[in-house]
Amino acid sequence: MEACRKLEEVLERIEKACQRAGRKKEEVTLLGATKTVPPNVIKRFYECGLKVFGENRVQEFLKKYEDLSGLSIEWHFIGRLQSNKVKYIIDKVKLIHSLDRDSLLEELKKRASRLGIKANVLIEVNVGNEETKGGVKPEDLEAFFEKVLNAKDLEVLGLMCIPPYEEDPEKVRPYFAKMREFKEKLEEKFGVSLPHLSMGMSSDFEVAVEEGATIVRIGTLLFGERG
Ligand SMILES: *Cc1c(COP(=O)(O)O)cnc(C)c1O
């Protein structure tokens, strides 16, 4: 089956990258980035063994969440999140990858507290300092991290980034390395352990794994070109 073969191929490439870096393949979770991918295709990959999927848009996520409610999918939210939409997803996703500003932090705190749940989050870092992208600026990361750490209704599990696009993945490596340094610096400064670095997409996930990624978010390579 085509889906299973593609999944196997990507998992093998992750395993090889782990070997090169002296890591165990169990340390890396493959997340299927399924924006614009229809539910029946998601289901096919699920049946091949892929269980973690991430969506970018709230509306689209809710539709698929409903359509695929019979499956034990672990859903993540990986896109830019508007504060007024937090309430629709907070109790449906295992991890929100894109916390990057005070207004969103406040809304997450409010909604988690009301439901009596802990919301798992990653802080998105604008590692390339790009105007057009979301994410906390590297120079603001420490202060923002402290606020999130002090929010009792949130559990901060690490960092996420979408680095500048480069055709040559080696050119992205320094950004991934920087992310690992940010994580280690925060761990040391605040005396905490951060289990996750969400980084690496279709074009650069092997380099990301070599640099310490624990979640790679892959779309095109698994599901094909998007319309
Ligand atoms: C689309 C998307 C991905 C996957 O990108 P591909 O290059 O298609 O693998 C990963 N992360 C985020 C946040 C995305 O929006």
**Per-residue DSSP letters for 38-85?**
-HHHHHHHHHHT--EEEES-HHHHHHHHHHTTTS--EEEE-S---GGG
Residue nearest to atom 7 of ligand 1 (CA): 202
Q: What is the pTM of this model?
A: 0.97
**What are 18-40's pLDDT values in tens digits?**
999 999 999 999 999 999 999 99
pLDDT at 103: 98
Tell me which residue has its CA closest to atom 11 in ligand 1. 217
**What percent of the chain stands above pLDDT 90?**
98
Whole-angstrom distance, CA of residue 9 vs CA of residue 15: 10
Q: Which is more confidently placed, 77 or 224?
A: 77
Q: Which atom of ligand 1 is nearest to the CA of 220?
A: 8
Q: Which atom of ligand 1 is nearest to the CA of 97?
A: 13
Mean pLDDT of the chain: 97
- Cα(190) to ligand 1 centroid in Å equals 30
The yes-or-no verdict on residue 225 having pLDDT over 90 is no
In contact, 195 and 157? CB cutoff 8 Å: yes
Percent of the chain at pLDDT exceeding 70 = 98
Pair 32, 45: CB distance under 8 Å: yes
Q: Which domain holds residue 59?
A: 2-223
Q: Is 97 exposed, middle or buried (0-12, 13-18, 19+ CB in 10 A)?
A: buried
Residue 166 has pLDDT above 80, yes or no: yes
Q: What is the mean pLDDT of residues 199-225?
A: 97
- Confidence at residue 1, expressed as pLDDT on a 0 to 100 scale: 62
Q: Answer for the pair 226, 207: CB distance below 8 angstroms, yes or no.
A: no
Mean pLDDT of 162-186: 97
Distance 217 CA to ligand 1 centre (A): 6
Query: Is 86 within 8 Å of 108 (Cβ atoms)?
Result: yes
* Cα 189 to middle of ligand 1, angstroms: 31
Q: What span, in angstroms and rounded, lies between the C-alpha atoms of 199 and 214?
A: 8
- Ligand 1: centre distance to CA 143 (Å): 27
Query: What residues flank ligand 1, with Cβ below 6 Å?
Result: 33, 35, 56, 78-79, 162, 201-203, 217-221
Q: For residue range 51-90, list pLDDT tens digits in order.
A: 999 999 999 999 999 999 999 999 999 999 999 999 999 9
Nearest CA to ligand 1 atom 10: 217
Measured CA to CA, the distance from residue 41 to residue 34 in angstroms comes to 9
Examine the pLDDT at 226 and tell me if it is beyond 60: no
Residue 4: predicted pLDDT = 96
Q: Is the pLDDT confidence value at 109 over 80?
A: yes
In terms of Cα–Cα distance, which of 115, 126, 117 is closest to 95? 117
Domain harbouring 20, CATH code: 3.20.20.10
Residue-level pLDDT at 227: 44
Pocket test for ligand 1, best of 10, 45, 53, 78 (most atoms within 8 A of CB): 78
CA of 27 to the centre of ligand 1 (A): 20
Instruction: Report the number of distinct structural domains present in the chain.
Output: 1
Mean pLDDT of 92-97: 98
> Does residue 161 register a pLDDT over 90?
yes
- Ligand 1: which atom is nearest the Cα of residue 35? 1
Is the distance from CB of 183 to CB of 166 less than 8 angstroms? no
